[in-house]
Structure 1
Amino acid sequence: MTEQNIQLQIDDINKKLDLILDEVYAQKQNRESMNDLMADLSIVGKDVFQNTVVQLDKAGVELDGETLASIGLRFLQNLDNINNLLEILESANDFVKDASPIVHQVGLTAIQKVNELDQKGYIEFFKELTNVLDNIITHFSIEDVRELAEKIVPILEMVKEITQPDMLESVHNAVVVYKNLETDDIPEYSIWKMMKEMNSPEMKKGMGFIMSFLKNLTAQQIKSKQEKK
């Protein structure tokens, strides 16, 4: 083995020794830092303990050693329950994080829908509808509402009959005829002219309708009175 190889090995050993010494020195510094930290914490802990004792003494609070030991024992016995509680809290926190975007989106959708309803006039409509309800409530008494409740069935029956197709057609025809009448320029009829018009097929049919209507109306009124008795 040449002197050069020996020197290289010595240099390599010196480098390794330097690394070992550096590591030992670093560990020594860590131990010293840890010892200093423990010493500082011990001093702080003593001060905190003494201050706590003084404050409890001033407040007239007495600590029972057995009670503290019992609390500590129960705390240790319920570590599993505490762990389960923490897991539940973590799950709840995860749920809130997952649900927050959904709730946010639902809120945005609701705001957008309300804005659409407002643009279409629904909000203003319901606002005015509340005024209508206010007028109804202030105009009618509780007794009126009770009477309406008793008569609501006949009223609905009447509405049902009015909304039948043939009835709606008759009402529509009457409205159309009235709309087409020139009320400002209605011709005058003498008795002779009226008698002459009564011989027309339209007037005969109209008179027949009126007579049939009055006859059936009277018969229905008599029938209703008999049913009430």
Structure 2
Amino acid sequence: MSKEDLILKRLDEIEAKVALVHERAVAAQNLRRELQPVMNDAFKLMLHELGDVETGFQLEDMFDLLKTTMRNVKNITYTVKQMENIIDLWHTSEPLLKSTVPKAIAYLDDLEQQGVFRTYQAMLGLRAKVAQEYGSEQIEEMGDAFVFLIGMLSKLSDPKVRHMIEKASDAFTELDLTDVQPTGIFGMMKAMSSPEAKQGLGVMVEMTKTLGKLK
């Protein structure tokens, strides 16, 4: 290839590059011409929005924020890491919560249907009334009495005691005093001849023996 051919080839390459640059320049100019209205509107909007915060924004505040941020980079990094841990914990516990929360809601709804919350509310109201009527010392004394009553209730859990109370309750329920007549000594002697009266006397004797232990 002669020098003239090399020169012509190099000129063709230069011409192609110039044409490419020219084409890109024209495209950039067209893009700038198309974006010019949008940029003007955006600039006007930015000026308008910044005008609202002009009175509350000072450049010194921006520098203070920048310095504070730079001084607390470690704290910010620590906070970000903790947030990552919280997010990981949330991703881990989310499937469990999806199954647990509906069960908890159903359980609370069941308690509401049973009136448990209303009972607690009534108990809180009762405590408020007691606090209004009695002082702290009186309430402490009542607490001692309440502990004593709990001890008595524990004794009532004995099957023998419960059976005796139930039998006595049934007996007094069946007792009818509407047709009771005055009774003298002879009437008592006559009544004592019945098996029920003799059984009652036996019970009274046993109770009298038990009461004698109170002395």
- TM-score, normalisation: structure 1: 0.51
1:176 counterpart = 2:185: no
1:113 counterpart = 2:112: no
Give 2:128's aligned residue: 134
Give 2:207's aligned residue: 213
Q: Residue type matched to 1:177 in 2?
A: A
CA distance in 1, matches of 2:143, 2:156: 20
Choose which of 186, 189, 203 in structure 2 pairs with 1:192. Answer: 186
Give 1:25's aligned residue: 20
Counterparts of 1:1-229 in structure 2, within 5 Å, are 25=20, 29=24, 33=28, 89-90=83-84, 92-96=86-90, 99-100=93-94, 102-103=96-97, 106-151=100-145, 154-186=148-180, 189-220=183-214, 222=215
Structure 1: unaligned runs, 5 residues or longer: 1-16, 38-43, 45-54, 62-70, 223-229
CA distance in 2, matches of 1:154, 1:81: 58
CA distance in 2, matches of 1:99, 1:128: 36
User: Residue deviations 1:66-109, cap 9 Å, x none?
Assistant: xxxxx8xxx7xx8x998887566455445445545654654444
When residues 121 and 173 of structure 1 are mapped into structure 2, their CA distance, relative to the original with a 3 A threshold, is: same
SS in 2 for 1:117: helix
Q: Say what the alpha-carbon RMSD is for the aligned residues.
A: 4.9
Shift of 1:173: 0.6
When residues 139 and 172 of structure 1 are mapped into structure 2, their CA distance, relative to the original with a 3 A threshold, is: farther
Shift of 1:174: 1.0
Shift of 1:135: 3.5
- Name the stretch that deviates more: 138-147 or 85-94: 85-94
Shift of 1:150: 4.4
Q: Alignment identity in percent?
A: 19
Shift of 1:125: 2.5
When residues 120 and 27 of structure 1 are mapped into structure 2, their CA distance, relative to the original with a 3 A threshold, is: farther
CA distance in 1, matches of 2:20, 2:173: 112
CA distance in 2, matches of 1:162, 1:89: 57
User: Residue deviations 1:109-167, cap 9 Å, x none?
Assistant: 43332222222222222222333333443344322333344455654443333331111
Q: Which has the higher contact order (CA 8 A, sep 6+)?
A: 2
When residues 143 and 94 of structure 1 are mapped into structure 2, their CA distance, relative to the original with a 3 A threshold, is: closer
Q: Residue type matched to 1:167 in 2?
A: V
SS in 2 for 1:182: coil
CA distance in 2, matches of 1:85, 1:146: 49
Equivalent pairs counted in the alignment come to 175
Shift of 1:196: 0.9
When residues 102 and 27 of structure 1 are mapped into structure 2, their CA distance, relative to the original with a 3 A threshold, is: farther
CA distance in 2, matches of 1:125, 1:172: 28
Structure 2: unaligned runs, 5 residues or longer: 1-11, 33-42, 44-53, 61-66
